[in-house]
Structure 1
């Protein structure tokens, strides 16, 4: 039991392996490009848009707002030098969770389920924002503005896709399932 506790404590203290290194993370252009070039971010944001469009027809931007607000919080933590253990793992896991949310999405689903889903979206959004911040160099404000703009575009594309899926339950399941499968590949890789 002592070894397990020690192993867990050491794992939390270890520096994270960053899967996002090796690409530009400076200024507006890189902030705009990264969400489109990083499969994890692209899949997660489109899936949040899909979920929002399927579940929240009147408050369609609620999922995106929860995600992007949490991204700002995560970015602030990263810029402040705070540690967010296992942020990369949380990002990969977010793709699976968001895909499952798309598969299970229903208009008129219980409010409690919607609230839990929005809380999960926000929690994972924090990890995404944190990852963006710790990789940023140069003009952090411009980089954050870029990834927020790109995120809004990806959320909007998911919302528009959800509008096309409204009458197609099979298409919704296939879309969500494809996101889950891609997330599983990210977790395994």
Structure 2
């Protein structure tokens, strides 16, 4: 929107669609949530909980409540998600849902920065767009990983290298972990 607040519901919707995609820390976390969800039976609830609590975090910010160390918690959430994927043994779904809920509050709070002061129609559009894109990306990643796990591609890659989906998730975990540390190193000087 060129640095200005959205003026209509459609502009708000488009801003909501764009926000988590143009912020690399948020995009990587949404991808990580989808990957983590794929490791659990019923894991599709993880993105749902993350998105719902993220909307709650957005509303907390709009209500002028203060969450300290915001960028640090956003970065740490990516580090933790990466670590959980890299170690191959993720905790149970209940633990992941709790961690996803906490992360959702902080990510949602950060998302609100770009919409503070908007009228109700653009705000509503923003929240719908934000929820739609995050759920779409995370559920697509979850479903893709589950598809690979069930297909022949989940056992070996097309080139026959023998990498399982679990190994690919582990490598993704290392990537998320490293990216989270990089974002954290950028957030720490702001203390």
TM-score, normalization: structure 1?
Answer: 0.77
Find the counterpart in structure 2 of residue 159 from structure 1.
142
Cα-Cα RMSD: 2.0
* Contact 1:45–1:151 (Cα < 8 Å) also in 2: yes
Structure 1 residue 87: Cα displacement: 1.6
Instruction: Check 1:157–1:23 CA distance in 2 against 1; reply closer, same or farther (3 A cut).
Output: farther
Structure 1 residue 73: Cα displacement: 1.2
Name stretches of at least 5 consecutive residues in structure 1 with no aligned partner.
1-21
Within a 5 Å distance, the mapping from 1:142-153 to structure 2 comes to 142-153=125-136
Structure 1 residue 105: Cα displacement: 4.8
Say if 2:31 is the partner of 1:46.
yes
Per-residue CA shift, 1:7-63, capped at 9, x if unaligned?
xxxxxxxxxxxxxxx95663111110111111111111111111111222xx13111
Find the counterpart in structure 2 of residue 185 from structure 1.
182
- Counterpart Cα distance in 2 of 1:31 and 1:123: 20
Instruction: Check 1:25–1:32 CA distance in 2 against 1; reply closer, same or farther (3 A cut).
Output: farther
- Counterpart Cα distance in 2 of 1:90 and 1:156: 23
Q: How many residues align?
A: 162
* Contact 2:82–2:173 (Cα < 8 Å) also in 1: yes
Find the counterpart in structure 1 of residue 161 from structure 2.
none
Find the counterpart in structure 1 of residue 40 from structure 2.
55
Of 62-71 and 22-31, the range deviating more from structure 2: 22-31
- Counterpart Cα distance in 2 of 1:25 and 1:150: 19
Find the counterpart in structure 2 of residue 171 from structure 1.
168
Within a 5 Å distance, the mapping from 1:1-189 to structure 2 comes to 26=6, 27-56=12-41, 59-106=42-89, 113-137=92-116, 138=118, 139-163=122-146, 164=148, 167=155, 168=164, 169-189=166-186
* Contact 2:43–2:93 (Cα < 8 Å) also in 1: no
Structure 1 residue 157: Cα displacement: 2.8
**Aligned with 2:39: secondary structure?**
helix
TM-score, normalization: structure 2?
Answer: 0.77
* Contact 1:52–1:61 (Cα < 8 Å) also in 2: yes
* Contact 1:24–1:30 (Cα < 8 Å) also in 2: no
Instruction: Check 1:103–1:55 CA distance in 2 against 1; reply closer, same or farther (3 A cut).
Output: farther
